[in-house]
Amino acid sequence: MLLTLGLISCKEHNKTVNRTKVSFKKEGELKIFKSDGSTINLDIEIANTDYEIQTGLMYRDSMEQYQGMLFIFEDVTERYFYMKNTHIPLDIIYIDPNNKIVSFQKNAKPFDERSLPSNFPAKYVLEINAGLSDMWNLKVSDSIAYSTL
């Protein structure tokens, strides 16, 4: 009987989990209007249901340079994000109800479960690849506009 339990235990231990790859699905377009007059254009996925907001970009292996995820909330409050189950480093951009950037959490580390607060009330959150906020020279008070498909 001991041998049988050992074999079952080994079998269970060697099971592999079949994880479905999540890929980008364009659901809208977003423009970032910079204070210098230039514009950045992105294709976006939209997270506006409880499930989409809680899942975000988890389980993604990559995202293209001009892609992002826009989280749309019904209320305006200080936001707290974290990187649980998120495989790619991100810049998290917090945006107020007037579509103005109010703060950043830059270079958020994959799998980091520490809280990344907005420090100001936000209605929207935009996640893009880490480093793009600096590369594009985005600033607090730059603004956005988006449309859905």
Residue in this structure with the two tokens 């210098």, named with its chain if needed: 36
What is the average pLDDT score of the chain? 89
Residues 50-79, mean pLDDT to the nearest whole number: 96
Tens-digit pLDDT profile for residues 6-60: 343 343 333 333 456 788 999 999 999 999 999 999 999 999 999 999 999 999 9
Do the beta carbons of residue 104 and residue 135 sit within 8 Å? no
CA triple 17-20-22, angle to 5 deg:
145
**pTM for the full model?**
0.86
Tell me the CA distances in angstroms from 57 to 2, 26, 62, 98, 149, one per residue in order: 44, 13, 9, 25, 20
CA distance 77 to 146: 20
Residues 91-120, mean pLDDT to the nearest whole number: 98
**Which domains, from first to last, does the chain contain?**
24-148 (2.60.120.1140)
